[in-house]
């Protein structure tokens, strides 16, 4: 499929996706939603064992393209969320391979939610994050009301959401919103390198880890123990578990195949 609003490449088991509307700081339009969602959802079947997501130009993603929201009529935002944003966030969370994100510049509104939905998030030192929603009379969406209190705590979640102020990458790191801050010129290479590494790891275990940790908020300890029992039972029957144990005793590096 030829893409108009994203760049896509599949190499070394990694689906690399770059949001590609740099003049608008990669703000979302329906075409970008469709292309991004399809690229993500189709990545494992295309052979990807990890996904790398970033933005072209100086921004990561400025959320909804507000140019599409000017004018008289009152849009139905529930419909927009139902049709575009919620399926996108669900696609990322349901994906059975890890999604590594390099936030190369500003991540605003649903652009920040998008980053928070990813599994491992790097940010360029100069990147900023803001819950821009309130500045235009809205409340956070695309998962931010769920991600923020869980990652950063209620006080910071409310401060971020109610003030809509920019925070730095360093602050996002200190608050537990992201994994790592990297110098601007290195951030994409480093995050892509991590995605390449993950693509050589036991894919089924990575998928299980993602599912177990994302689902942990909905489970009490008893249910988590049961979940781990079932998960480990299934992983114990994978080729990668066999390979991992054989490699350990063979004193060699395991060659995981994702099977
Ligand atoms: C943009 C945008 C943009 C269009 C920068 N749209 N052009 C879900 C459901 C349905 C509806 C509503 O929304 C949602 C979810 C949401 O995401 S709501 C939140 C929407 N996003 C925002 O409110 C952020 C708006 N943008 C900004 O506040 C600033 O642009 C940030 C802080 C992101 C960056 O500021 P600067 O670095 O100073 O850049 P800039 O403002 O000069 O922007 C550069 C260009 O990008 C500029 O165009 P121009 O032609 O003047 O160079 C902006 O108009 C354009 N742009 N964001 N969201």
Question: 5, 20, 23, 25: which to mutate for ligand 1, most atoms within 8 A of CB?
Answer: 25
Give me the pLDDT at residue 71, please.
65
pLDDT per position as a tens digit, 2-13: 899 999 999 999
CA–CA dist 19, 149 (Å, integer): 27
Domains (ranges, CATH) in the chain?
6-198 (3.90.226.10), 203-250 (1.10.12)
User: What global pTM score does this model have?
Assistant: 0.97
Token code pair at residue 150: 């869980």
| Cβ–Cβ under 8 Å, residues 62 and 26 | yes
Cα of 107 from ligand 1 centre, angstroms: 10
Cα of 221 from ligand 1 centre, angstroms: 42
Angle at 98 between CA 228 and CA 23, to 5 degrees: 150
- For 35, the 3-state DSSP assignment is helix
Write the CA distances from 28 to 222, 231, 247, integer angstroms: 41, 36, 45
Give me the pLDDT at residue 72, please.
63
Give me the pLDDT at residue 212, please.
98
> Which residues, in sequence order, are bridge partners of residue 61?
107
Q: Which residue stretches of the chain have pLDDT < 70?
A: 1, 69-72
């Amino acid at each position: 499929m030829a893409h108009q609003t994203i760049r896509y490449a599949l190499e070394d088991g990694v689906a690399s996706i770059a949001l590609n509307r740099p003049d608008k700081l990669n703000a979302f339009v329906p075409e970008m939603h469709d292309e991004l969602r399809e690229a993500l959802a189709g990545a494992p079947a295309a052979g990807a064992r990890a996904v790398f997501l970033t933005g072209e130009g100086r921004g990561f993603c400025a959320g909804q393209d507000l140019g599409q929201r000017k004018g008289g009529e009152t849009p139905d935002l529930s419909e927009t969320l139902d049709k575009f944003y919620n399926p996108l966030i669900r696609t990322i969370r349901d994906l059975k391979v890890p999604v590594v994100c390099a936030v190369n510049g500003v991540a605003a509104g649903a652009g920040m939610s998008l980053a928070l939905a990813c599994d491992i998030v790097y940010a360029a030192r100069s990147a900023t994050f803001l819950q821009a929603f309130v500045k235009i009379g809205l409340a956070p969406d695309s998962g931010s009301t769920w991600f923020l209190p869980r990652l950063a705590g209620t006080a910071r979640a409310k401060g971020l959401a109610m003030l809509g102020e920019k925070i730095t990458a360093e602050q996002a790191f200190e608050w537990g919103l992201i994994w790592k801050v990297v110098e601007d010129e290195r951030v994409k290479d480093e995050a892509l390198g991590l995605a390449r590494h993950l693509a050589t790891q036991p894919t089924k275990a990575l998928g299980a880890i993602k599912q177990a940790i994302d689902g942990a908020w909905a489970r009490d300890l008893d249910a988590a123990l049961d979940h781990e029992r079932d998960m480990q039972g299934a992983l114990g029957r994978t080729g990668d578990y066999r390979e991992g144990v054989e490699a350990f005793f063979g004193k060699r590096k395991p060659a995981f195949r994702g099977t």
